[in-house]
Structure 1
Amino acid sequence: MAIQYTCGDFMLFQEQLKKMRNVDDKIIYALNTSIPTESFKGQLSATEKCKDLYSSLESTYESRNNIIKNCIAITANRVKELKSKKDNDPDDVNVCKDFKSEQRKLRLLQSELSVEDIIKERTMKIFYEKCKVFIN
């Protein structure tokens, strides 16, 4: 199920990202339920479970990255439009206010890419600690 996202309201966008990052927040639980204990090793394939989880993580990272980059592009275009309007009419207070607001939102969106890198690094470290013996 794809989560609908919006770039217009940054707080709502962050809330949607938080929901999408749920898999990262629960990585230890996912790994513990994926990797069988000694008594169940014959019934479940830890290698397949780790590969499936890895595939799911990669897909999630790509999706989130694309969503963030799409919002950055949309917001950057909006900043460009507002800058042009501001240059044409520097006394328009509403345009100046909107321009600054969109610039701020653009910086926040760009910082989300760094947050993504940190989350991915943390999650993959945990993943490899648990699955390194099962995957090549």
Structure 2
Amino acid sequence: MNDTIKRSVLYYNLAREIWANLERRFTVSNGALKYKLNKELYDIKQEGQPINEYYTRLSVLWEDIENLNDFPAITQMNDEIRAFLNAVRKQKEEQQLFQFLNGLDDDYSQQRSQLLLQTPLPTVKTALAQLQ
């Protein structure tokens, strides 16, 4: 069982409850599950939580969504593919940064503005470290 799934069933007391939860989660079609996870991701806000806990909630959802993505295997690497993968990675990092900053409490508005003025934009982990 991967760490993301372990965290989602950590507080069940009985094996029967764990299996029932996992069955409900994974019998849902990928489209419906992706929609549910993305909706949770868009709705998540810090709401006074410590910033580490807020980030952890986001990162669990990012991992869950990433685990549902099905990408073809790359059998041969060349400069064009490498450049494409780097662009995709950068776009994903920016998206995560924007999601993270969007849900922060208003107390962080000045820091949020300063982070967004940086060139290049920081990764979400760098932004988290700076805010801590």
TM-score of the pair, normalised by structure 2: 0.32
Question: Using CA pairs below 8 Å that are at least 6 residues apart, which structure has the higher relative contact order?
Answer: 1
Greater share of helix residues, 1 or 2? 1
Which protein has the larger Cα radius of gyration, Structure 1 or Structure 2?
A: 1
